[in-house]
Amino acid sequence: MKQSLLDFRLKELQEIVKPSFRAKQIYGWLYHNYAQSYDEMSNIPKALKYELSEKYVVNPLKIVKKEISSDGTIKYLFELQDGKTVEAVWLKMKETLTDEAGEVIQEAKYTICVSTQVGCKVGCAFCLTAKGGFTRDLTAGEIVAQVVALKRDNDHKHNRMINIVYMGMGEPLDNLENLARAIEIFKESDGLSISGKRQTVSTSGLSSKIDKLGEMDLGVHIAISLHAVDDELRTELIPMNKAHNISSIIEAVKRFPIDTRKRVMFEYLVIKNKNDDIASAKKLIKLLSGIKAKVNLIYFNPYPGTEYERPDKSDMIAFQEYLVNHGLLCTIRDSKGIDISAACGQLKEQDEFSKAKTKGRE
């Protein structure tokens, strides 16, 4: 595979492209105009474009499929240069607000959920991505390209704010070097200028790498995929818990540099008759004691073949109310894209099944 221009920060591109002002022009084409090919870069000399094209691709992925939900959620399937596929999701978090005259007083707000790996090593029992195993890490450019592609496809101007969550396929901290590079590329003032505070890294709990991420001081938020309040259940759901148990995760979180105005997000996937009872809520309060925490309750999204079930709404509300009444900030995440392939890895799985079926007919 060729390296992508999206793998570089501006200073690095200026070391490759001379004179340096040409690098800045190219950077503008990449991040302000969302150029997908050298042909779109109209003010770049043909000789330079040819020279670069021999070594670098502009865009390392392409959209091969997308599903649009009635709530505005769009799920994308991308094909990489080696034919592997990954997913990303476009999420509308807030609607556009207008005044009585029809003037926009607040633009709609969006979040992009990106993948960091092809497949995943963690092997969570409830996750469809885990069923396909792990193939490889994504490069920084492949991570960045997902955001560029979604902003381009939705006509989202470069200077409009967007939030990024690393919650797609893969364990972000298992690909820490490329993750950190992508975070820095997103922060570039001459590029998309997405600050660290608008980027959230979600991890299943690699405690040692939580420490490493903290030492990098990238200014990002962290979200912990907790999902259980005791090691027995968490090991069932996340086998990696044997090496990184709940206690080690909590201690790593306490060491992580957090903006004093912010809270640490704990993601809690609620599964019917597994972790949706008040006894679990009581244990969760005790577990997070001393941490400025926010708990995000998430409905389990069933997929074909899973043994787990979506919890009842009444149990979700009771769980939330118990936490709130005992002083713990807690929200229930709205289920986005429930009418499409909402579960992580589902669109990829469907695509691969379709290909296999077609091949079998040949």
Annotated binding site for S-adenosyl-L-methionine: 170-171, 202, 225-227, 301
- What is the Cα–Cα distance from 296 to 290, expressed in whole angstroms? 18
Annotation marks residue 177 as catalytic? no
Residue 321 contacts by C-beta under 8 Å, 6 or more apart in sequence? none
Question: CA gyration radius for the chain?
Answer: 21
- pLDDT given for residue 360 in this prediction: 56
- What is the Cα–Cα distance from 201 to 149, expressed in whole angstroms? 20
DSSP string, 29-56: HHHTS---SGGG-TTS-HHHHHHHHTTE
CA atoms within 13 A on the CB side of 9: 14
- pLDDT given for residue 346 in this prediction: 62
- pLDDT given for residue 130 in this prediction: 74
- What is the Cα–Cα distance from 159 to 109, expressed in whole angstroms? 13
Whether the CB-CB separation of 78 and 87 falls below 8 Å is answered with: yes
pTM: 0.91
- What is the Cα–Cα distance from 220 to 79, expressed in whole angstroms? 28
Whether the CB-CB separation of 27 and 12 falls below 8 Å is answered with: no
Annotated binding site for [4Fe-4S] cluster: 120, 124, 127
Annotation marks residue 87 as catalytic? yes
Domains and CATH numbers, the chain: 1-59 (1.10.150.530), 60-361 (3.20.20.70)
* N-term to C-term CA, the chain: 29
- The pair of structure tokens assigned to 200 is 């959230």
Annotated binding site: 120, 124, 127, 170-171, 202, 225-227, 301
- pLDDT given for residue 204 in this prediction: 95
Q: Which residues of the chain have pLDDT under 70?
A: 335-338, 340-362
Name the active-site residue from 87, 142, 267, 349: 87
